[in-house]
Amino acid sequence: MREVTEYSPDWELYLSKQEIIDKEEKKKLMSDIRSVFDRWSTADLTLDQLRRVHEIISE
């Protein structure tokens, strides 16, 4: 639940501890994924890995 205003909220309310855990996990996974794509040209991925990435992002 977020405060609804025209400005950035000063707080967020979570209804369960699991929501917080999930949000933190999501932030970490997104950061990990971004770091791979930021250095995409130097990432040493196999053809199979590239196919799997393409399949996932094409859905």
The rounded percent of the chain whose pLDDT value lies above 70 is: 78
- Look at residue 59 in the predicted model and tell me its pLDDT: 76
Please calculate the CA angle 37-44-52 and round it to the nearest 5 degrees. 65
| Euclidean distance between the first and the last CA atom of the chain, given in angstroms as a whole number | 28
Q: Look up the pTM and report it.
A: 0.56
Query: Which whole-number Å values give the CA distances from 50 to 6, 18, 21, 33, 42, in the listed order?
Result: 41, 32, 30, 14, 13
Over residues 35-52, the pLDDT tens digits come to 777 766 666 788 998 899
Maximum average pLDDT range among 13-22, 34-43, 47-56: 13-22
